[in-house]
Structure 1
Amino acid sequence: MNRATLIAGVGGGLAVLALLAPATGTALGKLMRAREAAAGARLAAAAPRPAAVPLAAPGLRAPGASETEAARGLAGRVRRLAAEGGVLVEQAAPVVAGEGLARLRLRLSGPDKAVVALADRIERGTPLTRFAAWRMTALPGGGLRLEGEAVAAWR
């Protein structure tokens, strides 16, 4: 190996090193940011969660250990009240609400006075239940249809 070949090899290596330096710096910067994000995520996962704040007094909450159970209980209550009042429950489907609430999509129909009385009984009774959104439409023959979403706190 002669001196010219050695100088050409060292020069070529330095040139390649100079060309790869920006790409290496960028990759190292991304790696550092990813490690910082992972460390932050581990800290957030390990942090204690705040206690759930009750939304209603114990006597006014919908019974159930979860949103699904509370919505099921609400649907049962609405069906029972509807049967007592002679109102047809066309739909009583749970809707995801989150935040300690149970939400139920309702479609009720029957004689106009019975539907209005049922809506009143739902909102006045316990557990504390309110219609978040509702619409009443007249049916032929003096009937009425109530469509809406009933909301109750279960936590």
Structure 2
Amino acid sequence: MNRATLIAGIGGGLAALALLAPAAGTALGKLARARESAAAAQAAVTAPRPAPVPLVASRLRVPGGNAAAAMRTLAGRVRRLAAEGGVLAEQVAPGPMDAGLVRLRVRLSGPGKAVVALADRIEREAPLTRFAAWRVTALPEGSLRLEGEAVAAWR
């Protein structure tokens, strides 16, 4: 190996290094950002979760330690109010549950004034319960049928 070949090889290597340096710097920068993102994601996953925020004040919630207990309490309340008001509770069935909410599918029928009074009482008295969707159908002899979905917060 002679001196000219050696100098040409070193010169070519330095030229290649100069041409590849920006691409290597960009790749190293992207790698550093990816590592930072991965570390932040890992920290977010392992961080303690804050306690869930109550949807309504405690006096307005349906009592119950969990969604199933709250559902039973709400169903019992609707049945009790229907019996007190002289309204037939044809259907009182659990609906889909959301985070902190219970849904109850109801079908109530009876004298028109009694059904309206019952719906008003369900919505006005504590615990806070609202009909998310409802439909009233007229029946013979002045009776009504109320079908709907009652929603209440349990936490």
Normalising by structure 2, we get a TM-score of 0.71
Q: Runs (4+) of structure 1 moved beyond 3 Å?
A: 39-45
C-alpha displacement of 1:146: 0.2
Rg comparison, structure with higher value: 2
Contact preservation (8 Å) 1:79, 1:89: yes
Normalising by structure 1, we get a TM-score of 0.71
Structure 2: how far apart are the matches of 1:65 and 1:49?
A: 20
Contact preservation (8 Å) 1:68, 1:94: no
Letter of the 2:73 counterpart:
G
Stretches of structure 2 lacking an aligned partner (at least 5 in a row): 1-34
Q: How many residues align?
A: 119
| Superimposed CA distance per residue, residues 10-39 of structure 1 (whole angstroms, 9 cap, x where no aligned partner) | xxxxxxxxxxxxxxxxxxxxxxxxxx9xx9
Structure 1: how far apart are the matches of 2:41 and 2:74?
A: 38
C-alpha displacement of 1:142: 1.1
Q: Percent identity?
A: 72
Structure 1: how far apart are the matches of 2:136 and 2:75?
A: 19
C-alpha displacement of 1:104: 0.5
Structure 1: how far apart are the matches of 2:114 and 2:102?
A: 25
Structure 2: how far apart are the matches of 1:88 and 1:72?
A: 18
Stretches of structure 1 lacking an aligned partner (at least 5 in a row): 1-35
Who is 2:58 aligned against? Answer: 58
Who is 2:15 aligned against? Answer: none
Structure 2: how far apart are the matches of 1:149 and 1:45?
A: 36
